[in-house]
A and B are shown apart, each in its own frame.
Chain A
Amino acid sequence: MKQFISFVKKEFLHILRDTKTLLILLGMPIALIMIFGFALTTEVKNSKFAVLDFSKDAATEEIINELNASRYFDLVAALHTYQDIEAIFHKGKAKMIIVFPPSFKSDLQHFNTAPVQIIADASDPNVATTLTGYATTIIMDYQKRVTHDRKLPHTINTQVRMLYNPQMKGTYSFVPGVISMILMLVCTMMTAITVVREKETGTMEVLLVSPVQPIKVILAKAVPYLLISIVNIISILLLSVFVLDVPIRGSLILLLSESILFTITCLSFGLLISTLTDSQQMAMFISLTGLFLPTLMLSGFLFPIENMPMVLQVVSNIVPARWYYQIVRAVMIKGLPLITVWKETFILTGMTVFLLMASLKNFKTRLA
């Protein structure tokens, strides 16, 4: 035990002495949360739009006012001819244009139907889809109000309720994603690098000649990063609750224990990498391409797994972050208990055990 404590102390000294890296390790989650929370938002606000109104009656005016009044749109120009449309898109002054045909209101009143054309700049398809969606909703709202005056024979009213995230905030899905990314980065990459560094400098040999058991060497390396990760988890959670207003609906203890489980998975992954490589560059390369990218792409955090081709869906099953991401979303955002995430928890535990066994076995055979 005394050996182990000397070891852990030494690891802490390494980390504390390298203040730059420590600052990065502790600052990165804060920076990422801020970036994802405020800058990289998929919500579309104050988008510029123009109108080409051939009708200019009370109805079109009301619709335009309503669009302009919503927080999604800002009216920038009133156009006069079709040629203006091309011109305004070229200049990039507007993202969407609404075209009303002549006699819009009278058509609506007399024939019970009137077309509106929405033209969007689809060079950014996601924004275009979102904008046309918002615009359509606003126009439909107007129509509802108009038709309420007269009873229609058959109407279906859809009533949509966005459960768990009624305001459709992007941060709700970013926070769990950022947690899994940070843990992957800190635990996997840093553990791999710190073990390989000892191989590079030659100190690993001296340790192996000493009476310390290899497993203690390895565990001692993991302890400081486990602690740093816990600090990171707590700082991310505090930021999300108090700065981004993302609530923790489920049990905090469950969330923390699942996070520690995932941390251990990542640490084991790092140890496995360290037994497979002999240089820090290689360790970093494997951590980034082999783990960080799949975590980003296949965990469901950036792209929904359901939309992926079958092959990638299958591959995503072996990405630990996928399971952790689901757990955090379920516990944190939906407030579900352990019983609903037992499958994910079980898979993560299995992965951890497998990775730990593999790295220990590898570590021993490398010595022979």
Chain B
Amino acid sequence: MDTEKIIITEKLTKRFADFVAVDAISFFVNKGEIFGFLGANGAGKTTAMRMLCGLSKPTAGKATIAGFDIYRQTEKIKKNIGYMSQKFSLYEDLTVKENIRFYGGIYGKSNIFIKEKAALLLHQLKLEKEADKLVGDLPLGWKQKLAFSVAIFHEPQLVFLDEPTGGVDPVTRREFWNMIYEASERGITIFVTTHYMDEAEYCSRVAIMVDGRIEALDTPEVLKSTYTATTMDDVFLQLARKAQRSELG
């Protein structure tokens, strides 16, 4: 077993009735990478990610996460991953502190761990004054940053981010990516889906999905030279034009 590869998939497929959402994708993600997962709406990114997180059962194919099989060892996988969903996933009617404490609690962390880590986290996010405010009262940018911090609160090996910067202003997006880099430096592997092409440039490697298949997978530099494009946007447009599927959302 190659321990350097944290995600390995082999012909992973998801079918809904006669619709193939994800069509036999095979790829791997190295430990410590920031792996970008790109695609138009309906290309199958979210479905693929949901299978890797254990939220959805694959129809066919194989995959391992951190060396654990996604069919049989989901409980072990769950302990090692973090997840931030497209929808804002903190409780708006609980305070910042209560949210942190709750998520620490469900990952079985000790009270001391939670207390110390929460203090550190609030300091880093400069949210000390807001610690006892309801999350619903925070501005969106702060909420997203807080949600990311909570997703990696239990120090997972790997974190899945599903379009984490949707609807956030450019400045906050920049700050958000700085947080992603910091997490990456601490050794957390990042798996991120996005449709902002400038964000694709920040990734170590990028997979572009079209119609449920991976059409291209490499570092942004190599992809740009292969498709003789100056930006990732051009690369993406060249590939996405091939798409047969209409937007499915």
Is A125 engaged at the interface, CB distance under 8 Å to the other chain?
Answer: no
Q: Within the complex, what minimum Cβ distance (angstroms) separates B132 from chain A? A: 13
Is B107 engaged at the interface, CB distance under 8 Å to the other chain?
Answer: yes
A9: chain B residues at CB < 8 Å are 102, 105
Q: Which residues, 32 to 70 on B, are CB-close (under 8 Å) to A?
A: 53-57
Q: Within the complex, what minimum Cβ distance (angstroms) separates A363 from chain B? A: 13
Known: A3-B108, A212-B106. A206 touches B85 (CB 8 A): yes
Is B101 engaged at the interface, CB distance under 8 Å to the other chain?
Answer: yes
Known: A7-B106, A206-B83, A209-B81. A17 touches B94 (CB 8 A): yes
Contact of A208 among B55, B92, B102 (CB under 8 A): B55
**Total count of chain A residues near the partner, CB < 8 A:** 24
Alpha-carbon gap, A89 to B89, bound state (A): 66
Is B91 engaged at the interface, CB distance under 8 Å to the other chain?
Answer: yes
B151: chain A residues at CB < 8 Å are 206
B88: chain A residues at CB < 8 Å are 201-202
Q: Which residues, 180 to 224 on A, are CB-close (under 8 Å) to B?
A: 201-203, 205-212
B160: chain A residues at CB < 8 Å are 209
Cβ–Cβ contact A205 & B89, under 8 A: yes
Is A5 engaged at the interface, CB distance under 8 Å to the other chain?
Answer: yes
Is B98 engaged at the interface, CB distance under 8 Å to the other chain?
Answer: yes
B57: chain A residues at CB < 8 Å are 367-368
Cβ–Cβ contact A3 & B56, under 8 A: no
Which B residue sits closest to A209, measured CB to CB? Answer: B83
Alpha-carbon gap, A13 to B57, bound state (A): 33
B85: chain A residues at CB < 8 Å are 202, 205-206
Contact of A203 among B53, B91, B105 (CB under 8 A): B91
Alpha-carbon gap, A207 to B78, bound state (A): 10
Is A93 engaged at the interface, CB distance under 8 Å to the other chain?
Answer: no
Most B CB within 10 A of own CB, among A5, A209, A367: A209
Cβ–Cβ contact B91 & A368, under 8 A: no
Is B90 engaged at the interface, CB distance under 8 Å to the other chain?
Answer: yes
B134: chain A residues at CB < 8 Å are 17
Which A residue sits closest to B147, measured CB to CB? Answer: A206
Which A residue sits closest to B53, measured CB to CB? Answer: A209
Cβ–Cβ contact B87 & A6, under 8 A: no
Known: A9-B102, A10-B94, A10-B98. A211 touches B87 (CB 8 A): no
Is A45 engaged at the interface, CB distance under 8 Å to the other chain?
Answer: no
Alpha-carbon gap, A206 to B107, bound state (A): 12
A202: chain B residues at CB < 8 Å are 85-89
Which A residue sits closest to B99, measured CB to CB? Answer: A10
Q: Mark A348-368, 1 if CB is under 8 A from B, else 0.
A: 000000000000000000011
Q: Within the complex, what minimum Cβ distance (angstroms) separates A35 from chain B? A: 31
Cβ–Cβ contact B106 & A5, under 8 A: no
Alpha-carbon gap, A72 to B101, bound state (A): 64
Contact of B78 among A201, A203, A210 (CB under 8 A): A210
Which A residue sits closest to B78, measured CB to CB? Answer: A211
Contact of A14 among B84, B87, B91 (CB under 8 A): B91
Q: Which residues, 101 to 119 on B, are CB-close (under 8 Å) to A?
A: 101-108
Alpha-carbon gap, A367 to B87, bound state (A): 18
Contact of A367 among B56, B92, B103, B106 (CB under 8 A): B56
Is B130 engaged at the interface, CB distance under 8 Å to the other chain?
Answer: no
Is B198 engaged at the interface, CB distance under 8 Å to the other chain?
Answer: no
Alpha-carbon gap, A3 to B106, bound state (A): 4
Q: Mark A98-127, 1 if CB is under 8 A from B, else 0.
A: 000000000000000000000000000000
Known: A13-B94, A14-B91, A201-B87. A6 touches B53 (CB 8 A): no
Interface residues of A (CB under 8 A from B): 2-3, 5-7, 9-10, 13-14, 17-18, 201-203, 205-212, 367-368
**9 cross-chain pairs, A with B, having the tightest CB-CB distances, nearest first:** A6-B105, A202-B87, A209-B83, A211-B78, A206-B89, A368-B57, A10-B102, A205-B85, A17-B93
The contact sample of 28 A-B pairs, CB cut-off 8 A, is A3-B105, A3-B108, A6-B101, A6-B102, A6-B104, A7-B102, A7-B105, A7-B106, A10-B102, A17-B94, A202-B85, A202-B86, A202-B88, A205-B55, A206-B84, A207-B106, A208-B54, A208-B55, A209-B53, A209-B55, A209-B78, A209-B83, A210-B103, A210-B106, A210-B107, A211-B79, A211-B108, A367-B55
